[in-house]
Structure 1
Amino acid sequence: MADAPGAVGETPPALVPSRITSLPPEALGASALHRATLSGDPAALAFYRWSPHDPAHRAEAARVAAEAATARGARDAVADVLAEQNRAWGATDAVLDLVETLRQPDAVAVVTGQQLGLFAGPLYTIWKARSAVRLAARLTEETGRPAVPVFWLADEDHDFAEIQRATFAVGEAVRHVAYDDGRPPEADRGPVGRMVLEEAATDAAIRQLADALPAGPQREEALRLAQDAYVPGRTMRDAFAALFRALVPDIVLMSADDARLKRLAAPLFVREATAWPDTLARLAERSEALAAAGFHIQVTPTPVNLFVMSDDARTPLDPVEGGGFVRRGLEEELSAEDLLARIDADPASISPNVVLRPLLQDTLLPTAAYVAGPGEAAYFAQLGPVYEAFGVPMPVIEPRLSLTLVEPGVAKVLDRYGLSVPDLGAGAVDAQQRLHALWRRLALDATDLDLDATFAAATSAALAAVDALEPVVEEVDGSMTSAVAAARRKVEKALASLATKTVRVEKRHHDDVRARLARAQAALWPEGALQERSLGPLGVVARHGAHALTELADAVPLDATLHHVVHT
């Protein structure tokens, strides 16, 4: 579908995909565990409490989650915080109504979440949110139970290097935009959500974005959305939330970095502080079982799944001999009593790691289902015994929708050369190697000369001629055998060099082929990564408008067992 012209601020027409096809997950290099889970293999599903393939399991998981949340008695307290947070982030009345729904004793949540990637992170962050919205609607339709989609802002994460860049494809180029505050990306800045946007770094990132966004009739809209959200003096969390709200307007946003919510979750922290050896043993046992079943281990079990957090640091706790803990990399030690006192006095300073974060989420929310990417789903395969130990119901782990968007120009390249999406990237160790190999094949196919066969025949004939001379030379002087072998190597090397040069010249004659392939690869596999894992959503907004993200994601079947290729 061609881009429709329109003035800045004018609502562009609805975007209907021209074609949707699907690929199996193995075509894109999915792990054995992910493939087995998507196919419904009992050996994989045994590591989860519920099957995402069974409506009866979904209904029962919802019942258990609703009853557990009501028994905990925190529905109103959580809803009060969510209402306040979402009003601050520009929620519509419809979203605030969803927050109110969570107060109902039979209501459940369908949750997903992600780190606070610059300018809304990679595209799959949007696909996760759209998956949660659609799965919540399906759960309500199946059970009659109100289900609310919730997006968990992973704002306590301290890995700044993972969130500081946004990526866009423009022609053959892959362009990066970075928030650079002058410190090394790997430096601990504390929870990234609390970072206050600095004027110089923010202005520079916006300027880079203006240069990196692809051309399109809604390019100014994309830039305006970023400028409205990423304002100096605002926190990284609030900036992300403001932009995400504009891109996914129909989901509840949630930050657990709130003293009121941490107070509700304090018993979770107390149990880990006092019974971490049990958590470690359960994780280790489950991990060994996964490995024995032929699946990979996503997270290595370690002691004490807690961090101590301040505005400028988030440090893990390590146990020390004889009891007590030490903040890793620091000299600060805490006795067991000190840690419990800290949890009681200031639970907001305690943060869960990847093992306990899902349990925090499902302690605060009536989570019937969690929408996970492949890596997250693998984490959950290890967590069943931990959920049991903490007395928290484990939700259904629903795989997220997986999409690749194919613009018309890219589709023409694929169709012209008979290529599929995996041909340009899946399984390639190096994206440039894959591009070069494709270019060579297509360039040779485009010529009437079969250069490979021609040079192979010539080389064979030349070497045969040298071989025929060998007995003659030996009869003249038997010591000249090595000279014949050397001549043979020189002939072979000279012809190989000539073949390489000839193919190189032929490829130059077909440089337009290389350029087309490079543009398609940048759009589908930027720097060797699958599009949804690398490119930012504002690139789609620039071409089609913010509404297109919803329209494209909602146009595909609600089937996460396949990867959907969506032609725009």
Structure 2
Amino acid sequence: MRVEQYTQPFASSFYKKYLEDISSLSSFYHYEWNQNALNNRLQETDFSKHKRNELVEVITSYMSPFGLSEKSKLHLEELKDNGIVVIGGQQAGLMSGPMYSIHKAISVIVLAKQQREILGVPVIPVFWIAGEDHDIDEVNHVYIERGRKLQKMTYPEASRIKKIASKSPFDKKMITAYLEELFKSLPETLHTKKLFQKVIALLENNLNYSDFFAALMNDFFQQEGLLLIDAAYEPLRKLESEYFQKMVKYSSQLAEVVFENEAAFEKAGYGTPIQTKENAAHLFYVEDGERFLLERKDGKFVNEGKGIAFSEVELMNIAINEPERLSNNVVTRPLMQEMVFPVLSFIGGPGEIAYWGTLRSAFELFEMRMPVIMPRLSITIVNSKTQNLLEKFSFRVPDIWEGMAEKAKLQYIDEHRNEKIPTLLASIKEDLTAKYKELETILQEENIKLAPLVNKNLDYHEKQITFLNNAIEDTFLGKLDASINRYDRLTMELTPNGGLQERTFSPLQLLNEAGTELIQDLLEIQYEFNGQHHIVFI
């Protein structure tokens, strides 16, 4: 494999600032993202406060059905003792969601390995699954190539009730049929049958979004000892009871400091990534698998649309006795992560890093400091066919990001177009319009009132000219189809949906081309956490 690095493409102004000038953002974060910060984090942080034995029991219980590798067992033992973690996570997307879910897991594993060697202490990779998320529309689809275009293939939900991902079951026949259709859309390779059999086998006992996601991720990364945990796992919620109580107790102060922090973040020109409210409770109440966001009103915690209202005492009792009925939001999830895990570093994507920038005072409210927030590895994978096209047209990958393939395609079309045809058609249309105008004038002079009919007749002929023009254009483009397709393929492979490959492509396409060994091959690359975008040529 060959690797090239480039400045992060398609980055927001804030993310560019974070990558290139983190020191200017010191008022929003406790640490910069470099080795000195990681060293300081280790020295300054009391990692003895965590409920390590209980946490290891919870993770072991959660992961056992998926299979615990020897490396995972070792990491659990280290976590029970004095190990610290590099952690990141993602929603439970179908087929693991977009490629950046895989890249995030690779980031966690690689950074943990690097820091284990540098710091001389056990550093363990952990991946949390956002099984408490209820926006199923964000996770229920895969983009796949069909008819030379990317199409969004959505799993047809049996129910439209928005339950959390961990409580959103698949219909066995429906999900099997969906996966069969998905694989039929792939080109047949040496790996297709084996990959399909693996996916169906992993689906067998994992019939909801979170479990299926966990089964896939465990299969991909178990030899690396990646520890997995679902944020909605009830035994984890039991462990978190004490921390939910704190969040209920300090709800008012938490809302205040986050609101002020986000206002400062916006004033600095970075927008409002959370769009928080002064009366936010920053907790959800869970009932029958559905989440209902709570607000504070008249001394109560309420969701008016659902008719829910709890006093602080009532909500505190829920936190004590039924913590599985509570769920974190975008503000309290990072806080809960810090309370539960001994975190050296959090691996984040651009959006996560932005909203964490509004939480510094929230961490301080609970007498904590943010971990080192490391930008995840950003990767584009270029297969041999795409490499051949790049060479044929003398393009580099950044050229495609900048739209040069599309520009070259339009130039190629223009160079082969006979300009006499559109000129002649325009002339015919002008002549026709002039003749009809002349006819209308004569009819008016003769007091023959047929203007509507004349205009209707003219409109008909103009539509026929447009139809003829479109037919000529379609036939003309058809003659150039093979060449046009090469340009379109470069754009689709490297900037699908107008952005980075990792934000649209599922691992499915790449694993079908290269086999599941691709994951291990990607893990063996010597990555640098430098904010650059990595291009991997396979």
Q: Which of 58, 76, 80 is the aligned partner of 2:38?
A: 58
For 1:37, the aligned partner's letter is: Y
Which residue number in structure 2 is paired with residue 235 of structure 1? 208
**Structure 2 Cα separation of the partners of residues 188 and 161 of structure 1:** 9
In 1, are the aligned partners of 2:96 and 2:506 still within 8 Å (CA)? Answer: yes
Query: Which moves more between the two structures, 85-94 or 164-173?
Result: 164-173
Look up the SS of the partner of 1:139 in the other structure.
Answer: helix
Report Cα offsets for 1:191-220 as digits up to 9, x if no partner: 211223222321222222222334322112
Look up the SS of the partner of 1:102 in the other structure.
Answer: helix
In the TM superposition, residue 45 of structure 1 has moved relative to its aligned partner by 4.2
Note closer, same or farther for the CA distance 1:501–1:239 as it changes in structure 2 (3 Å cut).
closer
1:248 aligns with 2:221: yes
For 2:315, the aligned partner's letter is: L
**Structure 1 Cα separation of the partners of residues 317 and 360 of structure 2:** 29
Which residue number in structure 1 is paired with residue 24 of structure 2? 43
1:30 aligns with 2:11: yes
Which residue number in structure 1 is paired with residue 392 of structure 2? 416
In the TM superposition, residue 333 of structure 1 has moved relative to its aligned partner by 1.6
Which residue number in structure 2 is paired with residue 318 of structure 1? 295
In 1, are the aligned partners of 2:10 and 2:499 still within 8 Å (CA)? Answer: no
**Structure 1 Cα separation of the partners of residues 111 and 410 of structure 2:** 45
In 1, are the aligned partners of 2:257 and 2:362 still within 8 Å (CA)? Answer: yes
1:89 aligns with 2:66: yes
In 2, are the aligned partners of 1:316 and 1:328 still within 8 Å (CA)? Answer: no
Note closer, same or farther for the CA distance 1:295–1:208 as it changes in structure 2 (3 Å cut).
same
1:258 aligns with 2:233: yes
1:195 aligns with 2:178: no
Which residue number in structure 1 is paired with residue 506 of structure 2? 536
Equivalent residue runs for 1:290-305 within 5 Å? 290-302=265-277, 303-305=280-282
**Structure 2 Cα separation of the partners of residues 509 and 213 of structure 1:** 27
Q: Which blocks of at least 5 consecutive residues in structure 2 are unaligned?
A: 428-465
**Structure 1 Cα separation of the partners of residues 121 and 150 of structure 2:** 45
In 2, are the aligned partners of 1:110 and 1:132 still within 8 Å (CA)? Answer: yes
For 2:377, the aligned partner's letter is: L
In 2, are the aligned partners of 1:177 and 1:212 still within 8 Å (CA)? Answer: no
For 2:124, the aligned partner's letter is: V
In 2, are the aligned partners of 1:315 and 1:328 still within 8 Å (CA)? Answer: no
Q: Share of identical aligned residues, percent?
A: 25
Report Cα offsets for 1:412-465 as digits up to 9, x if no partner: 222222334354455x7xxxxx976442113345x5x9979xx9xxx9xxxxxx
In 2, are the aligned partners of 1:175 and 1:212 still within 8 Å (CA)? Answer: no
In 1, are the aligned partners of 2:6 and 2:532 still within 8 Å (CA)? Answer: yes
**Structure 2 Cα separation of the partners of residues 338 and 194 of structure 1:** 25
Note closer, same or farther for the CA distance 1:91–1:232 as it changes in structure 2 (3 Å cut).
closer
Which residue number in structure 2 is paired with residue 78 of structure 1? 55
Which residue number in structure 1 is paired with residue 150 of structure 2? 174
Note closer, same or farther for the CA distance 1:175–1:550 as it changes in structure 2 (3 Å cut).
farther
In 2, are the aligned partners of 1:110 and 1:149 still within 8 Å (CA)? Answer: yes
In the TM superposition, residue 181 of structure 1 has moved relative to its aligned partner by 2.5
Look up the SS of the partner of 1:304 in the other structure.
Answer: strand
Q: How many residues align?
A: 494
Q: Which of 383, 390, 407 is the aligned partner of 2:383?
A: 407
Look up the SS of the partner of 1:100 in the other structure.
Answer: helix
For 2:537, the aligned partner's letter is: H
In the TM superposition, residue 353 of structure 1 has moved relative to its aligned partner by 0.3
TM-score normalised by structure 2 residue count: 0.85
Which residue number in structure 2 is paired with residue 20 of structure 1? 3
In 2, are the aligned partners of 1:225 and 1:243 still within 8 Å (CA)? Answer: no
**Structure 2 Cα separation of the partners of residues 421 and 450 of structure 1:** 32
For 2:227, the aligned partner's letter is: V
Look up the SS of the partner of 2:359 in the other structure.
Answer: helix
Which residue number in structure 1 is paired with residue 194 of structure 2? 221
TM-score normalised by structure 1 residue count: 0.80
In the TM superposition, residue 553 of structure 1 has moved relative to its aligned partner by 4.8
Look up the SS of the partner of 2:153 in the other structure.
Answer: strand
Which residue number in structure 2 is paired with residue 282 of structure 1? 257
Look up the SS of the partner of 1:239 in the other structure.
Answer: helix
Report Cα offsets for 1:155-199 as digits up to 9, x if no partner: 111111101012233672324333222334xx422x211223222
Which residue number in structure 2 is paired with residue 3 of structure 1? none
In 2, are the aligned partners of 1:169 and 1:526 still within 8 Å (CA)? Answer: no
In the TM superposition, residue 366 of structure 1 has moved relative to its aligned partner by 0.3
Note closer, same or farther for the CA distance 1:210–1:509 as it changes in structure 2 (3 Å cut).
closer
Note closer, same or farther for the CA distance 1:423–1:503 as it changes in structure 2 (3 Å cut).
farther
In the TM superposition, residue 551 of structure 1 has moved relative to its aligned partner by 1.1
**Structure 2 Cα separation of the partners of residues 328 and 211 of structure 1:** 46
In 2, are the aligned partners of 1:171 and 1:522 still within 8 Å (CA)? Answer: no
In 2, are the aligned partners of 1:230 and 1:240 still within 8 Å (CA)? Answer: no
**Structure 1 Cα separation of the partners of residues 208 and 469 of structure 2:** 59
**Structure 1 Cα separation of the partners of residues 413 and 93 of structure 2:** 39
Q: Which of 536, 541, 557 is the aligned partner of 2:527?
A: 557
Report Cα offsets for 1:205-253 as digits up to 9, x if no partner: 2222222334322112221221112236733322211111112222111
For 2:518, the aligned partner's letter is: A
1:340 aligns with 2:316: yes
Alpha-carbon RMSD across the aligned residues, in angstroms, is: 2.9
